[in-house]
Amino acid sequence: MDKEGMLNDIFVSKGSDHGYLEVTAQFSAERDLKISWIRAGTLIDFWISDYLEDASKEVLESLADTMYKRISSFSREPYSDLLLDYVTDPDFIRNNRKTYLTRVNGISKSPVGRHHDLSKSYMRLVDSELVEYDPKVVLRWAPQRESKFVGHSSVLMKTICINRMMDCKYIPEEVIDYALFSQLSFIDREFGDDPKDKIEDVKRTMTEFPDYKRLDKAISDIGMTLWGEVSPRTNTLSHGNDGDVDL
C-alpha cells in the first residue's frame, strides 16, 4: 500500500471510533507542519502536512488518535511521545528543512541583507553571552508585507526569518539584535509546549536583555511588534466546522 493509502486507512479506521462515517485524509504540501480539516455531520476531510510522509504507521496512528480527541473535546490533548520523538529527531530536520526553506516566499539565500547581516547580529549575541551558539540554526530575511511582526520562527526546523522591513539602514544594530534575540529565545523552547506559555516564557526571558524597555519601545516606534512567532490559529481548534492546527 502507498503512503497516501496507509494514511487514509488510518484516519478512516480511527474516525469510525469517533462516529465519522465518511473520512478522507491525504498529504498536503504546507510551509509549516500542520493539519487542516473540514467536517459536516459524520463527514470529515483531513489534509496532513507532507513533512510526515515518511512517518511510520504507528506515528500516524498516534497522530490520528490525538486529532480526533482534540476535535471531539475542543481540548489540548497532548501529542504522543512517539510523535514527538519522530519530529524532534535530528533526521527529521535534515530531511525536511531544505523543503521548508523553498516554501517561505521570497526568503533570502543567506543571512546577509542589504543593510544588516543576521550572522553578525547572532555573533554579537553569542559574544555578549546572551545566547549559546547553535550551528543548526538557520537565519534568513523574508518579506512579510502584511505583517508587523519582527519575524517568523520554526522551532522544528530551527529556522528564523526576520521581517525584511527591518533590513533598513536607519534601524540600529542593537534593535536588530533585540529582535533576533526574541526569535532565538522562542525556538529554544521545547516543541509541543503550549504556544501561549512559550510566549509568556519568552517575554520573561526578554527582560534579561540589556536596556530591554528602551529597545522594546524602539520596536514599537517603528510600527512593529515582537510576537509573531505563533500565528493566531496555532495550536487552536476551530469551534465551527473547519479546523486548522499547527503541530
More confident: 3 or 191 = 3
Single pTM value for the model: 0.85
More confident: 226 or 190 = 226
Residue 240: the pLDDT is 34
**Which residue matches cell numbers 529582535?**
179
Query: Range(s) for CATH 3.30.2010 in the chain?
Result: 3-87, 98-221
Task: Answer positive or negative: Cα dihedral of 71, 52, 22, 14.
Answer: negative
Per-residue pLDDT tens digits for 177-222: 999 999 999 888 777 666 677 778 888 899 999 999 999 999 999 9
- φ/ψ region of 77 (left if φ > 0, alpha if ψ in -120 to 50, else beta) reads beta
CATH of domain 3-87: 3.30.2010
Q: Which CATH number fits domain 98-221: 3.30.2010, 2.60.40, 3.30.2320, 3.30.1220?
A: 3.30.2010
Q: Where are the beta strands (DSSP E) in the chain?
A: 22-28, 34-40, 43-49, 138-142, 151-154, 159-163, 242-246
3-state helix, strand, coil in the chain (%, to 5): 40, 20, 40
Per-residue pLDDT tens digits for 22-48: 999 999 999 999 999 999 999 999 999
Q: Is the model's pLDDT at 242 over the cut of 80?
A: no
